[in-house]
Chains A and B, each alone.
Chain A
Amino acid sequence: QKEVEQDPGPLSVPEGAIVSLNCTYSNSAFQYFMWYRQYSRKGPELLMYTYSSGNKEDGRFTAQVDKSSKYISLFIRDSQPSDSATYLCAMSEGSSYKLIFGSGTRLLVRP
């Protein structure tokens, strides 16, 4: 079993839709949770960062962490074609340099 599981997609939605991207994990010691966005042929860039459980909102993006279920989500409201990318979740125990990445979900937002 992988430490972090993420549906590879692709997920295709019409412009303006609400998108839900998810990851599950098995290591209960993970405390820091991140979402990276990766455009085609580019390196990942940090989108959202949360610590422990709860929600965090930044513009059209909301990150949720449910540690009891070992489940994290990224919601994108009013999705735009420019949101078309691969979204990678990443997590860490915090005391370590080591980030564990999910395999990424490819999102396509149709105009």
Chain B
Amino acid sequence: NAGVTQTPKFRILKIGQSMTLQCAQDMNHNYMYWYRQDPGMGLKLIYYSVGAGITDKGEVPNGYNVSRSTTEDFPLRLELAAPSQTSVYFCASSRQGKVEAGANVLTFGAGSRLTVL
């Protein structure tokens, strides 16, 4: 079982460039999430999706866009990269969205480390 797969693992961008971080899961999970993790800070939710065709903003959505055309894939797009977007990005998925009886156990990918110079 692959679980949650993220690509690329590492990327260096110049200011103003655009790129897409890919995320795919093979567990048939309805819910998918993008988090960013900065040193000394907790994971911050960027965007989430409750199913194909449905996405919504999290805590820190500015500068990012997402789409969810299939259950399996949830790409994150950075349109105009800025140094403040230097971070480690984690994609996660869960069977359900609500944290009840363990239903919202998140399965994380290995992360994508992005540097914007």
Query: A residues near B, CB below 8 A?
Result: 2, 4, 6, 8, 32, 36, 41-46, 49, 51, 88, 90, 92-104
State the 3 A-B residue pairs at the shortest beta-carbon distance, nearest first.
A43-B108, A101-B42, A97-B97
Are A97 and B31 neighbours in the complex by a CB distance under 8 Å?
Answer: yes
- Residues in B neighbouring A32, C-beta threshold 8 A: 99-100, 104
Taking the closest CB of chain B, its distance from the CB of A61, in whole angstroms, is 16
Question: Main secondary structure on chain A at its contact with chain B?
Answer: loop
Q: How far is the CA of A92 from the CA of B27 in the complex (A)?
A: 23
In the complex, B60 has a CB within 8 A of chain A: no
Of A2, A36, A43, A97, most buried by chain B (CB within 10 Å of CB) is A43
In the complex, B41 has a CB within 8 A of chain A: yes
Residue of B nearest to A42 (CB): B110
Question: Main secondary structure on chain B at its contact with chain A?
Answer: loop
- Residues in A neighbouring B106, C-beta threshold 8 A: 36, 44, 46, 99
Contact of A101 among B43, B105, B110 (CB under 8 A): B43
26 pairs, A vs B, C-beta closer than 8 Å = A2-B42, A8-B40, A32-B99, A36-B106, A41-B111, A42-B110, A42-B111, A43-B108, A43-B109, A44-B90, A46-B106, A49-B105, A88-B42, A90-B43, A92-B99, A96-B99, A97-B31, A97-B97, A97-B99, A99-B43, A99-B45, A101-B44, A102-B42, A103-B40, A103-B41, A104-B42
Q: How far is the CA of A97 from the CA of B44 in the complex (A)?
A: 13
Query: B residues near A, CB below 8 A?
Result: 4, 31, 40-45, 48, 50, 58, 90, 92, 97-102, 104-106, 108-111
Q: How far is the CA of A104 from the CA of B88 in the complex (A)?
A: 15
Are A94 and B98 neighbours in the complex by a CB distance under 8 Å?
Answer: yes
Contact of B105 among A6, A41, A46, A100 (CB under 8 A): A46
Of B44, B58, B99, most buried by chain A (CB within 10 Å of CB) is B99
11 more A-B residue pairs beyond the given contacts A8-B40, A42-B110, with a C-beta to C-beta distance below 8 A:
A43-B109, A43-B111, A49-B102, A49-B105, A88-B42, A94-B100, A97-B48, A97-B97, A97-B99, A97-B104, A98-B45
